[in-house]
Amino acid sequence: MDDALTSQRAQRLPLYIGGMMGPFGTIVILPMFPELRESFNASSAAVSWGFTIYLLPFAAVLLVSGTLGERWGRRRTVRGTYVLFAVASVGCALAPNLWIFLAARALMGVANAFITPLLVAGLAEVVAPALFGRAVGVYSSFQAAGGALAPIIGGLAADTNWRWAFVGTATMAAVLAFVPPQGEPADPADAKARPSFRALLTKQMIILGVGVMAAAAGPIGINVLVGVTARDDLDLTGREAGVLLLAGPVMAMLTGPLWGRLLDRVGARTAGLAAVTGATVIAGLLGFADTPTSLAVLSAVSGALIGFVAVVFQALASTIVPDNRGGALSFILAFRFFGHGVGPVIWIPVLEQNVLLAFLGAASLGIITIATFFAVIEPRRTDLQSRPDQ
C-alpha cells in the first residue's frame, strides 16, 4: 500500500513542478516595464505588448494544442515544447530590439500552449475522482509558486539586468525537458482512441469558455494593473514592486489545497460562484488602494481568490469531456488566456487616465462569469472515467 502511494506521488510530482512554468513565464515581465522602456526606447503601451503577445498566441494555439498533444502523446509533446520554450527564452535574453523581443515572447506563448493543458489532463488520469479537486488544488499551489517566484526574479533582474530573468526561464525549461509528465492516456495511434475536436464544440464548453474569458480580462487578471500601479503611481522600485506582487501568488500557493478540498465537498458550481464573487469584489476594492500596504493586503486576498477560481475552472474543464481531457482543458484555457491577453490592452490606457475607473471596469466583468455558472451543468462523479484509487 505504501509502495503504491509512493508510486502515485511520484507520478504526480512532474505534473506539479511543470505547473510552475506557465505562470512564471507570464508574470516575470511585469516588474520590469520601466527597464524595458529604457532598453528599447519604447512607450508603456508598446512594452505592455510583451505581456499580451505572450498570451494571445498562447490562447490561439490552446484551441487545438490539447487535442493535438493527446494524439501525438503527452510525454513527447511536453518534452519537445519545453525545449522550444527554452530556445524562445534565450531569444528574449539576447533580443537587440523590441520587435525581436516580442517575437520571442510570442514563441514562448506558443510553446506553453502545449504544456499547460496536458499536465492537468495527465493529473486526471492518475488521481481518483473523489480526490481530484484536492489534487488540482495542489497543482494550483505549484502554479502559484511559479507566479510567486516570477515577480521576485523579475524585480531583481529589473534592478540589475532584466535579461537575466529570461536566462532563468531558459534554464528552468531545459531542466524540465528531462522530466516528462506522467498520466499518458490510451495509445494515440489507435484510431478509436483519437481525440476529436468536434466533442469540444458544445454549448456547455462555449458557456464555460465565455465565463473564464470574462474573468481573465477582469477580476482574475487584475495583477497587471496592480503591477503598473505599483511602479507608476506609487513610485516603487522594480524590487519593491516584485515583493508586492509576491503577495497574491503566495496566498494562492498556501490556499490551493484548501480550495481543492472545498471543491470536492461542495461541488464546482457552488465553489465557482463563491470564488468569482469574492474575486470581483476585491478587484473593485483594489482601485481604492493608495498606499503600498493597502495595495499589498488587497492583492494578497485577491491572489487567494484568483487561485480558487483557477482550481474550479481547471477541475471543470478537465472532467467535462473525459474522452478528450487535454483538448477540453486547452480549449477552455484558450478563452482564459485570450482574456488575460486583451485585458491589459483594454485597461492600461484607462489606468493612465483614471486608476479607480480601470479597477472598477475590470472588476465588473466578473458579473458575466457569475452568470455563466448558473448555465453550466456540473459533471457527476459517476460519469467520469474511472481513475485509480489513492
pLDDT of the residue at 182 = 53
The tens digit of pLDDT for each residue in 294-335 reads 988 999 999 889 888 888 887 777 677 766 777 777 788 788
Band the pLDDT of 42: cuts 50, 70, 90.
Answer: confident
Separation between Cα atoms, residue 179 and residue 293, nearest integer Å:
40
Q: For residues 137 and 141, what is the distance between their CA atoms, to the nearest angstrom? A: 6
Residue 383 confidence class, pLDDT cut points 50, 70, 90: very low
Q: Is the pLDDT of residue 112 over 80?
A: yes
* pLDDT at residue 191, rounded to an integer: 39
Q: What is the mean pLDDT of the chain?
A: 80
Ranges of H-type helices in 234-291: 238-266, 268-285
The pLDDT of residue 192 is 45
pLDDT attached to residue 359: 93
What is the C-alpha separation between 201 and 166, in angstroms, rounded?
37
66 within 8 A of 320, measured Cβ to Cβ: no
What is the fold of 2-181+194-383? Answer: Growth Hormone; Chain: A; (1.20.1250)
Query: Mean pLDDT across the stretch 212-238?
Result: 86
| Residue 85: C-alpha distances to residues 81, 156, 301 (Å) | 6, 22, 31
Please say if the pLDDT value at position 1 is more than 50.
Answer: no
At 190 the three-state DSSP class reads coil
Mean pLDDT of 357-363: 93
Contact 222, 362 (CB under 8 A): yes
Contact, 246 vs 151, CB < 8 A?
yes
Backbone conformation region of residue 41, classed left if phi is above 0, alpha if psi is from -120 to 50, else beta: left
| Cell 495595495 -> residue | 295
User: What is the full DSSP assignment across 102-153?
Assistant: HHHHHHHHHHHHHHHHHHHHHHHHHS-GGGHHHHHHHHHHHHHHHHHHHHHH
Indicate if the pLDDT at residue 382 is higher than 50: no
Tell if the pTM clears 0.95, that is, is over it: no
Backbone φ and ψ for 284, nearest 5 degrees, come out as -65, -40
User: Which of 10-19, 124-133, 153-162, 209-218 has the lowest average pLDDT?
Assistant: 124-133
Question: Which amino acid type is present at position 156?
Answer: L
- Does 8 score more than 70 pLDDT? no
CB atoms within 10 A of CB 161: 14
Radius of gyration of the chain (CA): 19
pLDDT value at 181 more than 90: no
For residue range 261-278, what is the model confidence (pLDDT) as tens digits? 888 788 878 888 999 999
Give me the residue spans of the domains in the chain. 2-181+194-383
Which amino acid makes up residue 274?
A
pLDDT-derived band at 390 (thresholds 50, 70, 90) equals very low
Tally helices (H) and strands (E) across the chain.
16, 0
What does the alpha-carbon distance between residue 13 and residue 203 come to, in Å, rounded to a whole number?
34
| 124 pLDDT higher than 80 | no
